[in-house]
Structure 1
Amino acid sequence: MKSCPRWLLPSLLPLLLAGCSGPGADLSGWVAEQKARKPPPLQPLPVLKTFEMYDYTDQGMRDPFSASATETPGAGTGPHPDLKRPKQPLEAFSLDSLKMVGTLGDVTRQEALIQEPSGLIHRVRIGEFMGLNYGRIVSMTPTQVDLQELVPDGSGGWTQRTATVVLRH
């Protein structure tokens, strides 16, 4: 067996030891360099505007959360629905879900054809009711049905509102 020449080991030793530096040597140098750098100057904060204080005095003014003195709570003498009358089939649906699909009859006796969401078609005449808000049919043309609805006014009474169901093709 042959041995290595004696001069080979001492010549390779510095090369081997050069690779034995610590794992964070590059990182330590970079951190030291960054710490030595001067930070950029900060911009000054903007000057804040001063606002005048407003003193709100509510003495002598109406409380917005209580009923007005002119409003009378309760049903009053205005219009109100007849809650004792039997409901008609189309009063179970909102007007948005009902479709007018046609009319029947002549000038003296006219009927509108209204389709409910399930597809069933009903005949309606002036004076009958439909919709969730006690809508009474007040007039009809070949292209639309006009209703007078009664909706709660928020103070225990009722107010009238006009609604229309239009013929859809």
Structure 2
Amino acid sequence: MRIVLFAFCVVLAGCSSEDHENLRQWMVDNSKDLRGNVPKLPEVLPYQPVPYEVESLLDPFKPNKIEPESKYKQASGKGGAFQPDFEARELRNSLLEKYPLESLKMIGYLNVNNRPMAAIQVEEKVKQVKVGDYIGLDFGMVTKISDKEVELRELIQDSAGDWSERKSSLYLQSTEGSKK
């Protein structure tokens, strides 16, 4: 056992020779200007609660804000100045009022007794319209007909139940270049 201990001490003494002194000196020279630089953490501000007051805001989940109170008669003061006449629409019972404007096509222009008329196609049916007729789902009334377009005044309802006007057009659809 003494021999093993003596051999271990000799090996340990051999590792501590002066051969590594130049390595130690190089480490000291190259690390003398190095300093750890960790930036300071930002100051933590105290929590300030923000009041959440929703009593005066509209509830987006109430169905009466999405749909009018009654389809035919809304309460006075609601609906705005452009509220449409639902009963007149039912009485007209026009085919062109049962389709969205995007599915209607202007396919022709007519001038009958100096009155402009447009030929409107929906699915496989063709109907003639004149100024004052209604087309589309949004109470679109024809205001002007030219050889290239039909201009409309539509009534649309926003999420608050108010009605407003917007202008739309149907343009003449050319069939040139298409094979039928």
Q: What TM-score, normalized by structure 2, do the two folds share?
A: 0.54
1:74/1:156 contact within 8 Å kept: no
**Shift in Å at residue 78 of structure 1?**
0.5
In structure 2, what is the Cα distance between the partners aligned to 1:54 and 1:125?
65
- Which of 143, 147, 152 lines up with 2:157 in the alignment? 152
Note the aligned Cα RMSD (angstroms): 3.1
Q: Match for residue 50 of structure 2?
A: 56
1:91/1:130 contact within 8 Å kept: yes
Structure 1 regions of 5+ residues with no counterpart? 1-47
What percent of counterpart residues are identical? 28
- Which of 85, 91, 102 lines up with 1:82 in the alignment? 85
Structure 2 regions of 5+ residues with no counterpart? 1-40, 61-74, 175-180
Q: Which amino acid aligns with 1:137?
A: V
In structure 1, what is the Cα distance between the partners aligned to 2:168 and 2:50?
43
**Shift in Å at residue 142 of structure 1?**
0.7
Q: Which amino acid aligns with 2:99?
A: F
Alignment of 1:18-167 (within 5 A): 55-58=49-52, 63-65=56-58, 74-76=77-79, 78-85=81-88, 86-105=92-111, 108-116=114-122, 118-167=123-172
**Shift in Å at residue 157 of structure 1?**
2.7
| Structure 1 residue matching 2:102: 3-state secondary structure | helix
Q: Which amino acid aligns with 1:88?
A: S
| Structure 1 residue matching 2:84: 3-state secondary structure | coil
Deviation digits for residues 37-91 of structure 1 (CA, Å, limit 9, x no counterpart):
xxxxxxxxxxx999865643346x8844359xxxx98535501112222231100
Worse-superposed segment, 124-133 or 105-114: 105-114
Q: What TM-score, normalized by structure 1, do the two folds share?
A: 0.57
- Go from structure 1 to structure 2 and tell me whether the alpha carbon gap of 1:49 and 1:164 turns closer, same or farther (over 3 Å shift): farther
**Shift in Å at residue 146 of structure 1?**
0.8
Task: Select the structure that is richer in helix.
Answer: 2
| Structure 1 residue matching 2:50: 3-state secondary structure | coil
Q: Match for residue 15 of structure 1?
A: none
- Go from structure 1 to structure 2 and tell me whether the alpha carbon gap of 1:54 and 1:87 turns closer, same or farther (over 3 Å shift): farther
Paired residue total: 116
**Shift in Å at residue 120 of structure 1?**
1.0
